[in-house]
Copies of this chain bind each other. A is one copy, B any other.
């Protein structure tokens, strides 16, 4: 049965944070929390009477800093991260095919979807896929830095994500156009970058984007590889 997550939005970085809750338990999971939204997120956990079991990261973000380390310290949650992202302090280093458990009988399946970064993961739960910066609504993450690869992203999206059932809901890490959720079926048919496009076309498209370097990258990536905690702390 599809259970929608609670979706929270950070206007500064256009980042979505997700809180997963499920029947029969007050355990919850948070995905991609943002540093300056720590107070907001703690308030939601408090108001909803939730106990945080897991803090999940889809990758080491370049555009904002995570609050994962502080959330872990304040709630007793475990930090779970892609094994290939260099996020050393996290206790759970995830690999493709791993299954995370929380609540009464909830399962989150880990899907390695490299391309935006080499380590990027997507997470499958109850008919939802949390795609990080791999697949966005009608778009995709950039592939031109941080071990990105347009070939790898093409394979991740067309080979792995588009193989999920059409009605799987797609919850991305960002949206810049006021949208919130999509489905695999719609993206497969209409995604402006990836629907009905050859690998070669996609490679050219991505190589010609000429995007500016993210302002925060030199701070954010090392910070996120330490779960957002000060180095040496």
Contact = CB atoms under 8 A, between A and B. Distances in A.
Interface string A1-23: 11111111101000000000101
A178 B4 CA distance: 20
A74 to B, nearest CB: 18
Contact of A23 (B1, B44, B178): B1
Determine the interface band of chain A, counting residues with CB < 8 A from chain B. Answer: 20 to 34
Contacts of A8: 180
B4 A186 contact: no
A198 interface: no
A6 B6 contact: no
Contact of A2 (B5, B11, B23, B185): B23
Contacts of A4: 3-6, 21
Contacts of A185: 49
Contact of A48 (B9, B21, B37, B169): B169
Contacts of A44: 179-181
A43 interface: yes
B48 A181 contact: yes
Interface in A84-129: none
A47 B183 contact: yes
A11 B169 CA distance: 24
